Structure 1
Amino acid sequence: MTAHAAEPAPVVPPMPERTPKALREAIMQNTPQLLPDFDEHWKWAVADAYDISTVPAFMARWWGEYAIARDPKLDAHVSGLERRAAESTELAEAKACLEEVSHIRHRVQRLEPGQ
């Protein structure tokens, strides 16, 4: 019998430059499941609105979405916490789960390009 080496953990891609174009490219390459929502949000929030003042809020949202989605373990953890909160019949448990999700979302906002 041959021993099989454990599969290496997937490499989490680095964060891109903090521009809409670079973020879209990173999403396209690493988390393509996010691309339709990213493009739709861009269209109505920025392009169709003819309002570039909305770009910082748009970038904050999608910076966090990509930061979580690019890491399968973190993405599964956040999804699990959100699912537990939704299914919980105990207010304290639901609150604790959502507070942890909030802390994670705030932490990923502080990621810099290349991290």
Structure 2
Amino acid sequence: MTAHAPEPTPVVPPMPERNPKALRAAIAQHTPQLLPDFDDHWKWAVADAYDISTVPAFMARWWGEYAIARDPKLDAHMADLHHRAAEATDLAEAKALLEEASHLRYEAQRLEPGL
């Protein structure tokens, strides 16, 4: 019997500079599945609205989305928390699972560029 080498741990890409152009480039390179929603949201919330005052809220949302999606383990953990909360029959359990997901999302949004 031959031993198999363990699968290499995926490298989590660093957070980009905190601006829409850098974030879009990082999404396109590392999490392209998010790109259509990112572009649609940008068009709706900023470009078509002709309102740059919405950029901070837009960035906060997508900063967190990218921070989670770029890390396969964290992304899977978040999906598991949401799935378990949706399936929970105990309200306290569902609430605890969603609070954990909320805490992780909050922490992801606080990441600094380069981390």
Q: TM-score, normalised by structure 2?
A: 0.98
**Matched residue, 1:44:** 44
**Matched residue, 1:35:** 35
Partner Cα distance (2:103, 2:109) in 1: 10
**Matched residue, 2:57:** 57
**Matched residue, 2:14:** 14
Partner Cα distance (2:76, 2:3) in 1: 29
**Matched residue, 1:75:** 75
Partner Cα distance (1:24, 1:105) in 2: 19
Any stretches of 5+ residues in structure 2 without a counterpart?
none
State, as a whole percentage, how many aligned pairs show the same letter: 82
CA RMSD of aligned residues (A): 0.7
How many residue pairs were aligned?
115
Partner Cα distance (1:3, 1:97) in 2: 37
Any stretches of 5+ residues in structure 1 without a counterpart?
none
Partner Cα distance (2:90, 2:2) in 1: 48
Instruction: Summarize deviations over 1:32-86 as a string: whole Å, max 9, x none.
Output: 0000000000000000000000000000000000000000000000000011111
Q: Which runs of 4+ in 1 moved over 4 A?
A: none
